[in-house]
């Protein structure tokens, strides 16, 4: 039967709900805005409250006989070439955990690229899955990690034939991708599933000039944040499934452990609407975004002191396999300032928010929501930034260790270390101790330290100097990073 992508079941059901004027003696207690504080209504607008209804016993009937959500998920699956799609309203932070739980259980092994997001690490802590860390491909010159190679997964399976599957992050928040087809083949030769954390890849299925999409590359499960590169609302995420290595009912059961019983219909509507927009106009919208970014990248490249990182910098032997040009990553080395300084200056002086900021780079994500005007504003702000850079110098120095020193040894499982007896010690005395918490520069959100890793002086120096230079570290127990939570006892 032909699939009709002009339909949007969640949005249509919401319209019907309003048209029929259903009167709810159910949550949410604001009762279609009537009970909400007028001051809140003024800021948020009533549309937010009108779209905020119960998913079952509201949007759909008590027994979900209208199959509203199911139909929306089926349409999404069709649009992105998956067999099954699941909507969630707790971000990819939930989706990725659901995916992990559907592949491995407590004390079972999962091969995971060490450049994973912190939500993967919290999935390990909650589930007791044992990580076998796979090294990303490090670019020592740029101090940047790209997704691991298929060969690295091959070797890890040879060393750990009992591993239940693999998880790779692709694209990374810097836009660099793995050869997903090759990684999937490595997994499938052993009858094991591949999970792709494709949080940054919502747009990939909709244009042939973008890096390959996990479902097309043969992955078994992929996780996508529709709010990152797509036009869903914050927290709207999906996971897609294909093949017979992970039964859909297992994925559903395991996801059910994590999800809310009160999903936001607003977020469902955002997912549903994005799918319709992309199924009908995706190629054209993504094509326009790619054209826009090509011009923008080359104009930024003309600004003295700025280098826009591209395929030549990120892809090649020992580096990434592909690259998403919509992530405009700008190396500021030539200006002698940090990404933290640049991001703060752009917000304070030009009201522009950059996305990524690290010790030497600034990242601006461009989407189909941008146009010549927004790109022009970014460009002119960057020209001004280059002009004022001498006033921002000297930049505080972040002591970034070489890749070999950045990687810590996993001495305990993340779960055992997180729940073990712990104490806080001064950072100066923490080298040699086993971390009992995560420490994550954000964005991009890849933990520099995770529970169970043995701390070293170079990594502690990196975090201390980074923090002093403006690095955002949202998760350690001591926000000032004067102390670190470590395991009390260390018997092997």
Instruction: Draw the binding track, 259-278, toward ligand PLP (x: CB under 6 A; -: no contact).
Output: --------------------
Q: Does 365 interact with ligand PLP (rule: CB under 6 A)?
A: no
Residue closer to ligand PLP, measured from CB, 53 or 183: 183
Q: Does 169 interact with ligand PLP (rule: CB under 6 A)?
A: yes
Residue closer to ligand PLP, measured from CB, 168 or 186: 168
The one segment of 19-27, 86-94, 317-325, 467-475 that binds ligand PLP by CB under 6 A: 86-94
423: enclosing H helix or E strand: strand 422-426
Q: Does 170 interact with ligand PLP (rule: CB under 6 A)?
A: no
DSSP 434: B
Q: Which of 237, 242, 264, 327 binds ligand PLP (CB under 6 A)?
A: 237
Which of 237, 236, 239 minimizes the C-alpha distance to 248?
Answer: 239
Q: Does 232 interact with ligand PLP (rule: CB under 6 A)?
A: no
Residues 6 or more apart from 475 whose CB is under 8 A from it? 118, 437, 438, 439, 440, 442, 447
Residue closer to ligand PLP, measured from CB, 92 or 127: 92
Residues 6 or more apart from 5 whose CB is under 8 A from it? 75, 78, 79, 275, 276, 279, 280
Q: Which of 85, 88, 92, 456 binds ligand PLP (CB under 6 A)?
A: 92
Distance, in Å, from the CA atom of 452 to the CA atom of 442, rounded to the nearest integer, reads 20
DSSP 450: -
Structure tokens at 490: 């260390």
Greatest extent of the chain over all pairs of C-alpha atoms, in Å: 66
Residue 195: CB minimum distance to ligand PLP, A:
11
Q: Which of 32, 225, 410, 440 binds ligand PLP (CB under 6 A)?
A: 225
Q: Which of 28, 263, 445, 447 binds ligand PLP (CB under 6 A)?
A: 445
DSSP 239: E
SS3 track for 278-339 = HHHHHHHHHHHHHHHHHHHHHHHHCCCCCEECCHHHHECCCCECEECCCEEEEECHHHCCCH
Residue 67: CB minimum distance to ligand PLP, A:
26
Q: Which of 199, 286, 375, 463 binds ligand PLP (CB under 6 A)?
A: 199
**Helix (H/G/I), strand (E/B), else coil: 188:** helix
Q: Which of 91, 193, 205, 363 binds ligand PLP (CB under 6 A)?
A: 91
- Asked if 450 and 438 count as a contact pair (C-beta separation under 8 A), the reply is yes
Residue 92: CB minimum distance to ligand PLP, A:
3
Residue closer to ligand PLP, measured from CB, 71 or 118: 118
* Strand pairing class (307-308; 327-331): antiparallel
Q: Which residue is nearest to ligand PLP (CB)?
A: 91
**Helix (H/G/I), strand (E/B), else coil: 59:** coil
Residue 395: CB minimum distance to ligand PLP, A:
26
Q: Does 197 interact with ligand PLP (rule: CB under 6 A)?
A: yes
Q: Does 89 interact with ligand PLP (rule: CB under 6 A)?
A: no
Q: Does 173 interact with ligand PLP (rule: CB under 6 A)?
A: yes
| Contact residues for ligand PLP, defined by CB under 6 A | 91-93, 96, 117, 119, 169, 173, 197, 199, 225, 237, 445
């Amino acid at each position: 039967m032909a699939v009709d992508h002009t339909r949007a079941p969640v949005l249509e059901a919401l319209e019907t709900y309003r048209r029929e004027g259903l009167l709810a003696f159910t949550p949410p207690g604001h009762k279609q805005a009537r009970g909400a504080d007028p001051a809140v209504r003024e800021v948020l607008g009533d549309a937010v409250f009108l779209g905020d209804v119960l998913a079952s016993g509201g949007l759909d009937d008590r027994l979900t006989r209208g199959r509203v959500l199911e139909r929306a998920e089926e349409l999404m699956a069709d649009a992105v070439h998956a067999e099954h799609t699941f909507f969630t309203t707790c971000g990819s932070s939930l989706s990725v955990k659901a995916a992990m739980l559907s592949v491995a259980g407590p004390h079972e092994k999962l091969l995971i690229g060490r450049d994973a997001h912190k939500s993967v690490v919290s999935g390990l802590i909650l589930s007791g899955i044992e990580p076998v860390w796979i090294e990303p491909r490090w670019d020592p010159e740029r101090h940047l990690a790209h997704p691991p190679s298929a060969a690295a997964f091959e070797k890890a399976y040879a060393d750990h034939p009992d591993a239940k599957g693999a998880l790779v992050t692709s694209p990374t928040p810097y836009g660099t991708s793995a050869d997903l087809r090759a990684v999937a083949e490595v997994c499938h030769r052993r009858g094991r599933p591949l999970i792709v954390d494709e949080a940054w890849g919502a747009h990939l299925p909709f244009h042939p000039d973008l890096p390959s999409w996990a479902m097309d590359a043969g992955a078994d499960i992929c996780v996508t944040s529709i709010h990152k590169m797509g036009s869903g609302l914050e927290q709207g995420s999906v996971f897609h499934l294909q093949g017979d290595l992970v039964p859909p009912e297992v994925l559903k059961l395991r996801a059910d452990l994590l999800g809310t019983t009160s999903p936001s219909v607003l977020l469902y509507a955002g997912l549903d609407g994005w799918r319709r927009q992309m199924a009908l106009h995706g190629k054209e919208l993504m094509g326009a975004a790619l054209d826009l970014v090509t011009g923008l990248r080359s104009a930024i490249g003309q600004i003295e002191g700025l280098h826009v990182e591209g395929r030549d910098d990120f892809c090649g032997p020992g580096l990434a396999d592909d690259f998403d040009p919509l992530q405009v990553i700008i190396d500021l080395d030539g200006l002698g300032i940090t990404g933290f300084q640049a991001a703060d200056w752009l917000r304070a002086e030009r009201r522009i928010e950059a996305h990524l900021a690290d010790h030497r780079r600034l990242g601006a994500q461009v989407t189909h929501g941008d146009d010549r005007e927004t790109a022009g504003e970014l460009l002119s702000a960057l020209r001004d930034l280059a002009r004022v850079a001498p006033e921002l110098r000297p930049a505080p120095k972040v002591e970034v260790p070489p890749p070999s020193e950045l990687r810590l040894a996993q001495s305990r499982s993340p779960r055992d270390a997180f729940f073990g007896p712990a104490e806080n010690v001064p950072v100066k005395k923490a080298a040699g101790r086993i971390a009992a918490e995560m420490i994550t520069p954000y964005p991009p959100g890849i933990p520099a330290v995770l529970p169970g890793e043995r701390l070293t002086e170079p990594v502690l120096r990196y975090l201390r100097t980074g923090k002093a230079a403006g690095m955002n570290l949202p998760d350690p127990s001591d926000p000032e990073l004067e102390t670190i939570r470590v395991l009390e006892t260390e018997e092997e």
